Amino acid sequence: MDRIPSTGTSVEALLGTCVHKAFEEVYLARLHGRVLSEDEALAVYEKEWAAGIQGQVAFRDARYAPEDWRRTGVECVTTYYRAHAPFDAEKTVAVEKRVGFPLPVPDPATGAIEEYRIEGFVDRLALAPDGCFEVHDYKTGGSLPTQAQKDADWQLAIYDIAVREAWPDAPGVRLVWHYVRHGRAIVSTRTAGQLAALKLEIAALIRTIRADRAFEPRKSPLCDWCDYREACPLFKHLEAYAKLPADERRHEGGVALADAFAELEARKKALRAEVHAIEAEEERLKAEIVAYAQARDVRALAGSDCEVEVHSRDDLKFPTRTAAADKVALMEEELRETPVWPLVSRVDPKLVVEVQQSGSLSADLARLLKSWLDRWSRRETLWTVRVKRRREAADE
């Protein structure tokens, strides 16, 4: 979106690109009536790998050398080729095909309809013998997800919508993920109701993005394979740190600040542990003092240079959401049926904002709620500083 040029790629991304290129050439040849041999398919892979490995490639796991990764790709191509040759189980329509569909999104405030275009690239689109379209996607990662995870996956379901829009007379669409490292395929389908619900989810996400004012970076497991870490606010200082000579690292400004803050956090943690131990000892002594006072009918104990008073009062304790959520729900439900509820219920600002941003309100209600928020809320930036030790530092 920001047109930031990539300074390199990860070895995982390079592996995926090279394997995809081999499969692309295999199916393009089949589309024109020719079946590439296994050696020809591997030659495509090896050519792509030889060119790509000359560039700036990031290796996040030092345990594996470039040759290990190259062999992994060879195994991916070989395993898939031997399982699917001569590649005639279904008829390939296109490879790396761009597909998409229009999505009307109503503005919750005005009711006006704005149309968005949802697009993506399908690794391979095919026609099965039963007339159904198949969306094939090739994964070279090491993980193998479950059937349930793929049944809930958005990516190919979005392509499903696009295929049905392009060919509305198709009897069906199958979604096929090929996990080529494992030699496994996971097949899933979507109902018309599921696709309609997905469109609503996408529209809601678009409204949320449009309403947002700050686009903070969010860490995910995919960050380890990102080509833009040097430009990302979450990682660019970490990447710069890794490139510094070891004897210069502690003197860099950000490193010095992080080290000083981490030291204070460690001291706080040690003090909290000490306070916790003191409080536990206090509780033990308190129980002994109460027992002593009750046995002797006293409410004050004399110390060498102090007095310890003992007081008691009756208090009401209620079930808590942490310990007894079901009881709390019943308690609240019972109270809602009484005239007391309006007196004890409270405004939940977070819930109000969620409702206002959900897009589910009428235009009049949305304007009313926005006016209320404008009067009673103000926007400010909150900064949070936390310490998280790097894995390699923790292992030293």
* pLDDT (mean) for 2-10: 70
Co-location of 29 and 99 in the same domain: yes
Nearest alpha carbon to residue 164 among 135, 187, 138: 135
Boundary residue ending a domain (249, 274, 289): 289
Asked whether residue 70 is domain-assigned, the answer is: yes
Q: Looking at residue 109, what is its pLDDT? A: 74
Co-location of 49 and 162 in the same domain: yes
Asked whether residue 78 is domain-assigned, the answer is: yes
Identify which of 5-9, 139-143, 172-176, 389-393 has the greatest average pLDDT. 172-176
Co-location of 33 and 148 in the same domain: yes
* pLDDT classification of 385: cutoffs 50, 70, 90: very low
Q: 257 or 227: which carries more pLDDT confidence?
A: 257
Question: How many domains are contained in the chain?
Answer: 2
Asked whether residue 91 is domain-assigned, the answer is: yes
Phi and psi at 330, nearest 5°, equal -65, -40
- CATH number for 59: 3.90.320
Co-location of 248 and 185 in the same domain: no
The structure tokens listed for 344 are 């004890």
Q: 276 or 8: which carries more pLDDT confidence?
A: 276
Helices (H), the chain: 11-31, 38-52, 66-84, 147-151, 155-166, 192-211, 236-243, 253-296, 325-336, 341-344, 349-357, 363-376, 391-395
Co-location of 203 and 244 in the same domain: no
The two beta strands, 184-188 and 9-10, are unpaired
Average pLDDT, the chain: 86
Asked whether residue 216 is domain-assigned, the answer is: no
Per residue in 47-59, pLDDT (tens digit) is 999 999 988 887 8
Per residue in 303-342, pLDDT (tens digit) is 888 888 988 877 767 778 888 888 878 877 877 776 656 6
Co-location of 160 and 15 in the same domain: yes
Asked whether residue 305 is domain-assigned, the answer is: no
* pLDDT (mean) for 366-387: 66
Nearest alpha carbon to residue 90 among 118, 134, 128: 128
Co-location of 266 and 194 in the same domain: no
Domain that holds residue 88: 9-211
Co-location of 119 and 199 in the same domain: yes
Co-location of 40 and 76 in the same domain: yes
Asked whether residue 308 is domain-assigned, the answer is: no
Co-location of 164 and 256 in the same domain: no
Percent of the chain with pLDDT over 90: 50
Report whether pLDDT(346) > 60.
Answer: no
* pLDDT classification of 396: cutoffs 50, 70, 90: very low
* pLDDT (mean) for 181-209: 93
The structure tokens listed for 369 are 């709620």
Co-location of 206 and 249 in the same domain: no
Q: CA separation (Å) from 301 to 204, 210, 281, 291, 294?
A: 65, 66, 18, 12, 12
Q: Looking at residue 362, what is its pLDDT? A: 74
Please state whether 378 falls in left (phi above 0), alpha (psi between -120 and 50) or beta.
beta
* pLDDT classification of 389: cutoffs 50, 70, 90: low
Co-location of 28 and 152 in the same domain: yes
> How is the chain split among helix, strand and coil, in percent rounded to 5?
50, 15, 35
User: How far apart, in whole angstroms, are the C-alpha atoms of residue 179 and residue 192?
Assistant: 26
Are 355 and 376 within 8 A, CB to CB? no
Asked whether residue 129 is domain-assigned, the answer is: yes
Please report which helix (H) or strand (E) contains residue 178, including its range.
Answer: strand 173-179
Nearest alpha carbon to residue 124 among 165, 168, 90, 82: 90
Tell me the longest C-alpha to C-alpha distance in the chain.
101
**CB burial readout 220-230, b (16+ within 10 A) else e:** eeeeebbbebb
Asked whether residue 207 is domain-assigned, the answer is: yes
